[in-house]
Structure 1
């Protein structure tokens, strides 16, 4: 799939797969330096704009290494980029740690996965079909 991309900041490389053909997510990089203080969140610019094709959506997921090693993750995970959005891609990061986390321009901060999207058409009914699970949930299915 080809996705049009505009570099706002040409000093940063285009997002790329670390292991092409194997990775699901393409790494997004920070377009700015910042100190993400412990317990706080901030939107980080990526220096790119993209045109996701109609029928698809972009989903911004955390990088597991940042979460595991530093307690830094995507706050609204996954962040959603609609196909009609043409602004700069931003990533809202949160630092769950008590330690400050330094972000440098060019650091890989999140990953983007493009998913095909089905549009929903509601079918109002008076009664839903039965299921084995019925209305149990939120921990009702066991340990």
Structure 2
């Protein structure tokens, strides 16, 4: 079940759901707006031009109030908000329609597991033929929350728990290999 603004406000007030910083106007009828942070990350160029999933990828981290996202460019960004989900709640990261209409794709992996804590790393891609100026504090997307029928047996305690700022892929830490 999607959680309403009434319940979101109640859970925020009780501390069951934690989001900081947050302003009242971010709370929408069935979601909470998330804002763009001031940290961006781009994959460092490597000499062979191949990203290998088994090796750690290096990122160039940039802190700035404005970032110019060029046509066809991919960048990681972070939210201003630090969140902590209870073990009986999940969230979906959704882009804003107004931004999507400009050709800015907000994420590839938009699921936040129960028990997650940290800032949300966003995957941004400019599909437009023009550059897009990204500004710190701009509403960039929204979190839609859903209640689980019971507490998760194994809430999130993974490799991105507690992340702050842009966090690059940690897929190289995966120990399972499918064949």
TM-score (norm 2): 0.54
Post-superposition offset of 1:118 = 5.2
Post-superposition offset of 1:87 = 2.2
Q: Within 2, Cα distance between the matches of 1:73 and 1:118?
A: 31
* Backbone CA RMSD of aligned residues: 2.3
1:76 is aligned to 108
- The reply to whether residue 4 of structure 1 matches residue 18 of structure 2 is yes
Tell me, yes or no, if the aligned pair for 1:15 and 1:27 is still in contact at 8 Å. no
1:62 is aligned to 95
Tell me, yes or no, if the aligned pair for 1:45 and 1:90 is still in contact at 8 Å. yes
Listed as ranges, the matches of 1:15-30 within 5 Å are: 17=25, 20=28, 23-30=29-36
Instruction: Flag the 1:52–1:46 CA change in 2: closer, same or farther, 3 A.
Output: same
Larger Rg: 1
* Structure 1: gaps of 5 or more residues: 8-13, 121-143
| Greater helix content | 2
Aligned structure 1 segments of 4 or more residues deviating by more than 4 angstroms? 15-20
Aligned length: 110
* Structure 2: gaps of 5 or more residues: 1-7, 12-16, 39-65, 153-179
